[in-house]
Each structure stands twice: as C-alpha cells, then as structure tokens.
C-alpha cells in the first residue's frame, strides 16, 4: 500500500529542458518535494555544454549523469540512459512509488505507458507551455514549473533640470528582441486559417484555449504542422506573431498553470481548468471519457499502412519504420515507437490482420488473410480424412 508521502524518483532530461536558462531547478525540486520524497535525483546531459549549471545542480544534491556527445550530429544517449534507469528503478526498487520526469519530448511516451502498467505514478514537469500533447495524455499529472523572472532593473536617478538645458524629444520604448522577432515574422494565411479552425474546435468542445491544447488540436487537423518550419523557435512565439498579424486575437498568461491562453473577439473565451482551482500549482490531466485521438490519426495512418502492405506482408516494426521514413520523416513529433503503438490499434480495429508465420508475427491486409484461409481448410480436412482412414483400417 502506498504511504501518505510516497517515494519518488526525479529524472531530468537536461538536454531537453536545460536549454532554457529560465528553468528553475530549485522550484522543480520543491514542487517534487511537495508531492513526495525524491529519494533519487538525477540529471542527464553532456555537461560540457551546461557547465554553468553544474554548481547549482550539485548544491541541490542532484546526481549528474555524464553522456558526452559524439559523431557529426553531436548526439548523445541521454534519453536512452534515462529510459534504461527508469525501467531498472521500476523493476528493482519496489519502494519507489512514482516518477517525476522533467522533459517535453514526445519520444518518452512509451516509457510513460510502461511505468503506469507497473503501477507507478508518472508526473511530467516542464517550464514550457508547448510540451507534446502525447505526454499530456499519458501522464498522471502535468507539473508546469514557474520560469525564473529576470530581476527588475534599478531605475536611474533623474538628472537635475537646469534652466538652459535643452530637452531632448522622448523616444518610444524599444521592444525586446523576442517581441521584435515575433512582430517582424508574419504568420502565413494557411497557418492562420489552421489556427482559427483549432480555436473553433476547442470552443465547440467546451475546452480552454491554452497553447498546449491549441498545438495538439492543430496537429490533429494537419499532422505536418510545425512552427519551426515557419521560422519560430517556440510555439508561444508563433502565437505572439499570430496576435500581431490578426487584431481579432488576444493572448494572455494564465497564472494558475503558467500557460498562454488565446481568445478571439466575437467568440467568448472558455475558462481553463486552472481558473477553477487557481491555488493549485499543477494542471491535472482530465481522465473521464475516451482519450482523444493523437497524431497521426488512424484515419490518416490506415490508408498509408494499407498501401505499404499491398506490396507484401511486413512485421509490425518494419511497417512502423517504413511509415516514418516515407511519410513522417520531417515531423519530429511522430516517433517510430508512437507509430508502432498506433499500428496495434489498427490491428485491434480489424483494419490490419496479424498472424504467425514460422514463429514470426507479420501483418497483412484483411483480404490477404482471407485468401489464405481456404488453403488452410483443405489441409485440415485432409488430415482429418487420413486420421479417419487409419481408424477404419485398424477396426
């Protein structure tokens, strides 16, 4: 039985969340401590890139897992090592009741599913409001850590006015580099139409228009949407540019969950869940009802899978890799593991057939499987007839 104060393992994908200098590690540790006892505290990264943050992490008692980058793309195995450690902890340390994983990477979705299958509570923590919608669906709780705010500048003393001093004309305040970049980059018309469609869908369902939900809905409508292709580093930058492009839109920060909320004039804004419980620092994931469909949708995935299987049977993993290479290679939000799971749903729905051939599981189209059944029928009949003949002969 889980105690009143559960034991937790805090695992930080620093390669993903550490690039944001606003990440408040102390606030993250305090939020995890409010939900249990973080007995294990580890951060995974190539610490040569984040040398300035090492003293802060060491002072908080966080173990630094060093994973140097290698190769021309300068990739390392931080995410793989985090997954291996999480599975090892779940299987070998029964006194650990839950995990707090700090990341925004959708590739960790299969890990969340597996940890919950083993009865572990999973909390996803991030400073960004644009974390993957896949993580939001498969986590027990979302913990949005409040970002560090820059210190307010000390106002300079006003100079004493002299009788003969010339007064210089006042200049308008200069926008910050982020505001200037967002204002200078205009959102294309196709992306604006997609944004308005997503807002209409959220309003029709009675859901709040937080930026994380807007992005998930936009990718449900158009699976290839990616704000980075439009020149925006973050989805929040895309929303700011959209507000600058369309005067009917307005953007505000929801203090309850540190998330942006977008609304359009003429359409009443839907209050997010955080306003109903503003005192709670975290956003609970709604559980009632069926889970929403995620990208890519089965309606899109089914014909693509059928077209590949029309050329011959394939294993489930080979089909997932083929779909990624041919149709989703440029979409970082769609992983091979996510496609593998969705192919399993197509099998359960009867869209694809899975059966064993020489102790190997392969996938075919329903028509191909049906065509193979008559061949098996006569063989079973022949075997029965032969057995019956043997019984008659013995008699």
Q: Name the residue with tokens 């210089």.
A: 168
Same domain, 183 and 234: yes
Same domain, 140 and 12: yes
* Residue 371 within a domain: no
* Residue 387 within a domain: no
The enclosing domain of 43 has a CATH number of: 3.40.50.1010
- Quick: pLDDT tens for 187-234: 888 888 888 888 888 888 776 788 888 888 888 887 778 888 788 888
Cβ-based neighbours of 136, under 8 Å, separated by 6 or more: 124, 142, 212, 216, 285
Where does the pLDDT of residue 366 fall: very low under 50, low under 70, confident under 90, or very high at 90 and above? confident
Pick the closest to residue 212 from 222, 200, 202 (CA basis): 202
In total, the chain counts a number of residues equal to 395
Out of 144, 163, 185, pick the residue that ends a domain: 144
Same domain, 122 and 82: yes
Same domain, 13 and 137: yes
Residue 303, SS3 per DSSP: helix
- The Cα–Cα gap between 181 and 184 comes to 5
Whether residue 2 is predicted with pLDDT greater than 70 in this model: the reply is no
Same domain, 134 and 60: yes
The number of distinct structural domains making up the chain is: 3
Judge if pTM exceeds 0.75. Answer: no
Same domain, 259 and 201: yes
Give whole-number Cα distances, 204 to 122, 198, 276, in Å: 30, 10, 20
Same domain, 18 and 138: yes
The enclosing domain of 195 has a CATH number of: 3.30.420
User: Domain residues for 228?
Assistant: 177-270
Q: Please tell me what DSSP assigns to residue 228.
A: G
Out of 255, 270, 285, pick the residue that ends a domain: 270
What is the pLDDT, as a whole number, of residue 39?
94
Same domain, 261 and 356: no
Whether residue 266 is predicted with pLDDT greater than 50 in this model: the reply is yes
- Quick: pLDDT tens for 81-93: 999 999 999 999 9
* Residue 241 within a domain: yes
Same domain, 186 and 260: yes
Burial 111-127 (b: 16+ CB within 10 A, else e): bbeebbeeebbbbbbbb
* Residue 201 within a domain: yes
- Quick: pLDDT tens for 319-360: 888 888 887 776 666 788 888 888 888 888 888 888 887 667
* Residue 373 within a domain: no
Same domain, 15 and 130: yes
């Amino acid at each position: 039985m889980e105690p009143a104060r559960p034991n937790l393992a805090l695992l930080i994908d620093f390669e993903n969340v550490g690039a944001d200098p606003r990440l408040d590690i102390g606030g993250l540790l305090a939020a995890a401590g409010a939900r249990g006892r973080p007995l294990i505290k580890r951060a995974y990264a190539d610490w040569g890139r984040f040398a300035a943050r090492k003293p802060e992490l060491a002072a908080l008692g966080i173990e630094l897992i060093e994973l140097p980058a290698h190769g021309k793309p300068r990739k390392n195995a931080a995410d793989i090592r985090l997954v291996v450690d999480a599975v090892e902890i779940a299987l070998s340390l029964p006194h650990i009741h839950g995990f707090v994983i700090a990341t925004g990477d959708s590739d960790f979705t299969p890990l969340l599913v597996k940890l919950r299958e083993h009865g572990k509570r999973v909390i996803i923590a991030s400073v960004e409001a644009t974390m993957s919608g896949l993580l939001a669906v498969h986590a027990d709780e979302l913990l949005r850590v409040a970002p560090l705010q820059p210190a307010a500048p000390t106002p300079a003393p006003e100079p004493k006015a002299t009788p003969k001093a010339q007064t210089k004309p006042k200049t308008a305040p200069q926008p910050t580099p982020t505001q200037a970049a967002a204002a200078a980059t205009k959102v294309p018309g196709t992306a604006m139409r997609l944004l308005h469609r997503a807002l209409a869908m959220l309003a029709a369902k009675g859901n709040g228009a937080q930026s994380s939900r807007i992005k998930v809905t936009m990718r449900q409508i158009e699976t290839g949407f990616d704000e980075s292709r439009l020149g925006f580093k973050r989805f929040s930058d895309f929303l700011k540019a959209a507000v600058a492009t369309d005067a009917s839109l307005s953007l505000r920060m929801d203090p309850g969950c540190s998330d942006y909320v977008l609304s359009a004039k003429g359409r009443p804004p839907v209050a997010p869940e955080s306003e109903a419980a503003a005192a709670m620092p975290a956003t609970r994931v709604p559980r009632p009802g069926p889970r929403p469909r995620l990208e890519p949708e089965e309606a899109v995935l089914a014909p693509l899978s059928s077209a590949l299987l029309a050329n011959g049977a394939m294993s489930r993993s080979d089909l997932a890799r083929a779909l990624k290479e041919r149709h989703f290679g440029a979409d970082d939000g769609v992983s091979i593991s996510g496609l593998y799971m969705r192919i399993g749903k197509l099998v359960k729905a009867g869209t694809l057939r899975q059966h064993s051939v020489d102790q190997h599981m392969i996938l075919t189209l329903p028509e191909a499987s049906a065509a193979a059944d008559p061949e098996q029928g006569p063989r079973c009949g022949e075997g029965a007839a032969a057995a019956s003949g043997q019984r008659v002969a013995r008699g």
